Amino acid sequence: MELLLKPMDRKVAEEILSWQYDPPYDFYNTETTEEEMSERLNGACFALQEGSGELVGFFCTGKSAQVPAGQLQGVYKEVLTDIGLGMKPKLTGKGNGSAFTSFIINCIEENYESVPIRLTVALFNKRAVHLYKKLGFVPDKQFRNNYAEFMTMVKR
pLDDT score for 121: 98
Q: Is 51 helix (H, G, I), strand (E, B) or coil?
A: coil
pLDDT digits (tens, 9 = 90+) for 116-133: 999 999 999 999 999 999
Q: Over 90: is that where the pLDDT of 113 sits?
A: no
Which residues form the domain of 8? 3-155
The domain total for the chain is 1
The β-bridge partners of 87 are 57
pLDDT digits (tens, 9 = 90+) for 23-81: 999 999 999 999 999 999 999 999 999 999 999 999 999 999 999 999 999 999 999 99
Which H or E run includes 73? none
pTM for this one?
Answer: 0.94
| CATH number of the structural domain spanning residue 146 | 3.40.630.30
Q: Is 142 helix (H, G, I), strand (E, B) or coil?
A: strand
pLDDT digits (tens, 9 = 90+) for 90-106: 999 999 999 999 999 99
Distance separating alpha carbons of residues 32 and 41, to the nearest angstrom: 13
* Whole-number average pLDDT of the chain: 95
Q: Is 69 helix (H, G, I), strand (E, B) or coil?
A: helix
Evaluate whether 36 touches 81 at the Cβ level (below 8 Å): no
